[in-house]
Structure formats: structure tokens, C-alpha cells
A = this chain, B = another copy of it.
Amino acid sequence: MCIETIRQLEKTLPASWETFPIDVDEFKNSSAFALIFKQPSDNRGEVANEMNIKDIAKISGVGISTVSRVLNNSGVVSDTTRAKVLAVVKQYNYVPNSNARNLKKTQSNTIALMVKGISNPFFANMIKEVERQVHLRGCPLMIQQVEDGVDEIAAAMQLIREKNLYGVIFMGGTYDHSEEEFNQLGVPFVLTTITTMKDVDPAAFSSVSIDDVQSAYKATSYLISLGHRNICFLARFPFMANTIGNRRLLGYKKALEEHGIEYDPALVEDCEYAPSFGFAAAKRLLSKNLGITAMFAASDAIAIGAAKAVLSSGLSIPGDVSIVGFDGIEMAEYYHPSLDTISQPGVEMAHVSVEILFDLIAGETANRHVVFESMLVKRGSSRKVN
């Protein structure tokens, strides 16, 4: 809405409305601005007259405990009584208060998802499926982003004790926790696409993942098989061991080694998992004139940025440079040229994560570790050389 439109709109407003510009300084990073239309509302929403279990009991002419039994399908209730109660419940659209229920049971039905970076398209896709599956099981989902540097387990602990959570799914990142810390959680949990730095006994946790080393090995081997020798690698390498980036680097190195290609650190660039960083990293690499003929990016987002760098340098893909990404996000397929990638079955991984979690909640005592197979998807961003 441009200024003129708003000014015009202003004239048509009832006199009771105020109009004033929003504080622009607050949004320095955007040229956006806005106007606010205000009007005191006379009718603040009244909470619909709440019913509680006592009301339902009274109306149905039964005891409180009977209503509870009907609602929870616990204990024995005669069909007549059950029908009577359910009718009243339906009529008054009664919803049990979960705070009370959780308090009494010292356990809620809420699942928490601790995730690193909601907006990462690969995660976003998994989150979507997690929400769907959790919701399908009648449980609400709480999402919390764990910023860099915060202790994921500690954050989850806080939430668990505060809310008496049912279970937790941890998604993405590298965890530096000991077995004791995991045990402290005290509720079922699953680690999805997470690498652990400490050597934790597999019996102490469940996980869903792919084999990053093997996957990167697969991608690199593929490029080597096409005749490439100068293959660069773009990923994030924090000062920690066993991160996703480092594990994929391992696979990259392993492939080089197996094919007698010497590992050249100059071909490896540190970059965040986003197009802008991939773009910058690829630019840096290209400017070094290392005779690069192929790029392997540890995420499709990086690959997209790198591809842009290549194409905007006047080089062609795969004519001059071959590119293989990682993740298998939709956008990579619709890039032009479509990007080859190591695809992770994100939806299935999310699905299985929730399944494992609910099995644990249901009392399963054996932790499971599901390792999915990644897939090399060839779409035409790499070609044979020599």
C-alpha cells in the first residue's frame, strides 16, 4: 500500500479511527514502512462460558469420576451412561482443561521439537512432517529454536520440567553432551539428523540419520568417476569435531584417497548453509584459479549459491564446472540447470522420528537407531570431462 493509497483510505475512515505512521527506525534493514489504524474495540472477546467436568457431571446426572472415565476410556462405564455423558459433552462442546489433567498426571501430552534453524528448507520440510505426525496422534507440538551457543539439552530440560513434556525431538546440529546429560532428560527423546561429539553409548538414545561420511563419499566418487580431479568442497566447519561438515569432509577425503588424488586444503571452503555463503565461498574459490572443474556442496542451499557464482562468472554448468549438492530440496531441482544432489529422505526421517518417539512413550525400552540411505540424484549439473 503506497502512501497515497493510505492517505486516501484515511479519508474514508470513521472519525473514531486514528492513523499514524509506524516507527520506521525500528526497521532499518528494510525499506518497509507502515501505517497503523487504531480504534478502541468496544467488544473485547468474551471467553465462551467455560464448562468444567463438574458441570458436565451435574448436567448428565452422574458423578465426576464417571465423566472422567468416559472421556479417558478408562475403567468400566455402562453403555447407557457413556452415551448420556458423551451427548452432554458434545452438546456443550466441552473440552477438558489440559493444565489440570497434566498437573494431576504429572505428564502432559505435549511434544517439543528443539530445532536449529526453522527456515532451512530441508528442516522446514521435516518439521512439517513432524507436526503432521504428532498432530495425528492427538498431541500438540511445541517448537523451540536453539540458537548457536545455547545448550540444547539444558533448554529442553527447562521445558520438560516446566511443562511435564511427553517427549522431545531434537533436530539438527552437533551435540556435545555426555550420556549422563542425556539421561537427565527423563523423558523419551530422539535425535534426528544430529551428530554427537562425545562418544555416547548407543543404548542411551535413539536416532534417525543418514551416513554423512558415506554420502559425501558417494558424491565425491561420482564426480571422480566422471573424470574430475580438482573437486572443491563447501561446508561449514566450526571448531568442533564430528560436525556434519566434518563428517562429510571425511567422506570427501576418503573418496579422493581411494582414487589416488591428493587432498588439497585450498579446495575446501568454510561456509554457512545458505545461498549467500555458498555464493561468496565459490567466488573466493574461482578467483584463486585452481583449475576447479567440480564443486561438491554440503547442502543444496550452498550449491545454489555456488552455482550462481559460477554462472555469473560467465562459466557454464556443467560445461565448465560440475556441481553436486546435498539434501534434495525442491528448489535445487528447479534451478537451471537442475542440480545433482545427494538426497536425504527428509519426510521419511521425520516420520520415523515421531514413530520411534511414540514407541518410547508407549513404553518401548529399546532405543533404536535408524540410518536411512541417501540417494545420488543425477539431473544434469555434472558431466564427464577428458
Contacts and interface: CB of A to CB of B under 8 A. Distances in A.
A40 B251 CA distance: 31
Interface stretch (A83-91, A127-135, A263-271): A127-135
A130 to B, nearest CB: 9
Interface residues of A, number: 107
A72 interface: no
A59 interface: no
A42 B203 contact: yes
B375 A95 contact: no
A219 to B, nearest CB: 13
A204 interface: yes
Contacts of A335: 304, 308, 335-336
Given A97-B162, A145-B128, A305-B334, A202 B348 contact: no
A271 to B, nearest CB: 13
A44 B99 contact: no
Secondary structure call for the A interface: mixed
A197 interface: no
Interface stretch (A62-70, A180-188, A232-240): A180-188
A290 interface: no
Interface string A35-62: 1111111111111101000000000000
Contact of A275 (B203, B334, B352): B334
A221 to B, nearest CB: 12
B44 A95 contact: no
5 contacts: A34-B372, A34-B373, A43-B183, A48-B157, A308-B338
Given A32-B373, A38-B368, A43-B204, 12 more contacts: A2-B214, A32-B345, A33-B372, A35-B370, A40-B365, A97-B103, A119-B128, A121-B331, A128-B145, A275-B330, A304-B334, A335-B335
